[in-house]
Structure 1
Amino acid sequence: MEAFLVSTGIVALGEMGDKTQLLAMLLAARFRKPLPIMLGIFVATLANHAMAGAVGQWVAEAIGPQWMRWIIGGSFLAMAIWMLIPDKIDEDDADAKSLRLGVFGTTVLAFFLAEMGDKTQIATVALAARYTDFFAVVAGTTLGMMLANVPAIYLGDRIARGVSMKLVHSISAGIFAVLGVLTLLGIDRFF
């Protein structure tokens, strides 16, 4: 349960103000069809995070536990720093080949590509390497993505104006920093 809860919380906070959240807002404004956008985000996230989780599990098995502790701890600390760097959406992500693919297809393609190498994908790799429960990590990171993006679809930029992204990113950075330090210290249980 810890893997699921930590994964959900980290990604939900980490996605606030992220380029994929901005992409969700853009797609919602452009197409005004929330259901296919939500389903597209879900499918793209599940596929992307399942791949990232598999990489994390493979890395954990391929590297010994001592090295793994240092790599994961360092990764969490690097994520803490990365969280403090604001994201912006790329024009290419927002203007995918939308009409040929439809709303659902455009969303799947745009989100899948936008998540490649993104903070949440890297976090999923680290979380899957840290925890042994692949399904809990992938389910948690996917739920975290949905928790951050579904409201963005419905509320658009009202969210962006009403929530301090700097505060949210600072909280996320703090969580990653704590996870990094606890991992480096060899503390296995967080709750």
Structure 2
Amino acid sequence: MHDQVDATIYIVDDDEDFRTSMQWLLESANHKVVTFESARDFLTNFKGGVGCMLLDVRMPDVNGLALQQIMQERGIHMPIIVISGHGDIQMAVSAMKQGAMDFLEKPFSGDAVLHLVDKALTRARKAHQQRSEIQEVADCYDSLSRREREVMGLVVDGHANREIAEELGISPKTVEVHRSRVMSKMRAGSLAVLVQQAAKIKQLQ
């Protein structure tokens, strides 16, 4: 797993002893760990990157639920494992409803957190790969001319060159030239690939 994209585990908890013990456990399993003593500490010092979060749901000032909401508003996306103490289960459930991946109730075993962290990092790496692929397609799409985008849209909708020519008021030969340029610029080896790329572009619109 660790020969893939570098990933970091972010621990956000106001309990220093807990942060220290979790950091030791995770680093002993060859994970990269960064700790924060509060939600504000995280929001101020987080520099971006691929990873997951161990988040204490009950913290002074800004609690875990509020941090989740702020992260969503700021476009900070990562799998979150909520840490809850006794009596905080309802807050943990609320965090799950807001998109947290899972939750652990203190006290929990080292094996339990390592299992969830591995699962979260796998999900984080997959999401990063998907975002990278979408961005690569978007960059290719940005290189298309307005006419090439029009042709691409009609091609992926299943129209033949003759139909596209009639729709755009150009010759079938010109359509073929534009279509060839689209396939080249989009690095699409087939129509099926081009259709998949068009679907990814729609995710950004």
Which TM-score band (shorter chain)?
Answer: under 0.3
Structure with the larger RCO, 1 or 2 (CA within 8 Å, 6+ apart): 1
Larger radius of gyration: 2
Q: TM-score, normalised by structure 2?
A: 0.26
Q: TM-score, normalised by structure 1?
A: 0.27
Bigger helix fraction: 1
